[in-house]
Amino acid sequence: MSRETILALAALPQDLRDALAAEYDVLGAEDAAASDTRIAVTTGMVGADAAAMAARPGLRLIASMGVGLDKIDLGAARARGIAVSHTPDELTEDVADFAIGLIYAATRRIAEADRFVRAGRWMRGRMSPGTSLYRKRAGVVGLGRIGAAIARRAAGIGMEVGWTGPRPKPEAPWPYHPDVAALAEWADVLILATPGGAETRHMVDARALAALGPRGVLVNIARGSVVDEAALLEALEGGGIAAAGLDVFASEPGLDPRFLALENAALAPHYASLTHETRAAIIARMLRDIAAFRAGGTFFDAAA
């Protein structure tokens, strides 16, 4: 099979670019020759809109790195006969691990403790107490692959688990709450694992944060758009909630500088899935899906 050209619709991580370049000619969106490509590669954070598809009438596959599809216009892809592959399974366990890490970071103040020691403040006294997690309530928003993996881990560390989502799942072993505000009122820690997009935009607003309350903790490994950041900053600065562990923001990487001054916020650079193992699995999945498309084989098509 001849060497094919692949269009990069986003700035690709070097490991992915190197893996693609070993088998394909990779062109940027600005390259004139890229207009004739059948295959495009993007990331979940950049996606592909209808205009990008219309500009490339020969496009037949968009391979996206990541689980999120909210930045890809699936309707436009479907209408144009463009298949969309992504990597929904490969990062589940590592993202769930990181969510639990952020819970500990926010409640047991791990990042803050590190700063306390490095600044020499331990020589002058002890840190004030953190918050125990044992027997506390973990409310998971979105019980998909990642949300269910988080719920299992939270139960395993002695937390009581509840959840909410678009519809009840009778097979789920944890109680369902009718909406985010109701779950937030019940929970001690509210963990966001829901997809992004218009339907979930600002799902966690001032009302939900007020329901979580001054002893509550918010953890977000979903999308920054799920949270009303202005309301979150006000709650963190004014004691409306106790703390937050955040891996995603409304504007990345240029997050609101007010977050940087908050001792009660553990901040991460959209890092939950970045392990050696998950990176290798994601890249292998993308290469398999592209090869299957070229060979006329089967692969999961999110636009089908």
Q: What b/e string do you get for 152-168 counting C-beta neighbours within 10 Å, with b at 16 or more?
A: ebbeeeebbbbbbbeee
In the set 60, 80, 270, 294, the catalytic residue is 270
In the set 223, 229, 279, 285, the catalytic residue is 223
Instruction: Tell how many helices (H) and how many strands (E) occur in the chain.
Output: 10, 11
Angle, helix 276-295 to helix 14-21, in steps of 10 degrees: 40
Listed residue (178, 190, 233) closest to 215, CA to CA? 190
Per-residue DSSP letters for 200-265? GTT-B-HHHHHHH-TT-EEEE-S-GGGB-HHHHHHHHHHTSSSEEEES--SSSSS--GGGGG-TTE
Residue 301 exposed, middle or buried by CB count within 10 Å (0-12, 13-18, 19+): middle
**Chain center to CA of 43:** 12
Does residue 276 have an active-site annotation?
no
Does residue 285 have an active-site annotation?
no
In the set 237, 252, 263, 277, the catalytic residue is 252
Torsion of the alpha carbons at 133, 134, 137 and 143, rounded to the nearest 10: 90
Q: Whole-angstrom Cα distance, residue 289 to residue 62?
A: 10
Does residue 80 have an active-site annotation?
no
Phi, psi (deg, nearest 5) at residue 223: -140, 145
Amino acid at 280: A
Helix, strand, coil % over all residues of the chain, rounded to 5 = 40, 15, 45
Question: Mind telling me the catalytic residues?
Answer: 223, 252, 270
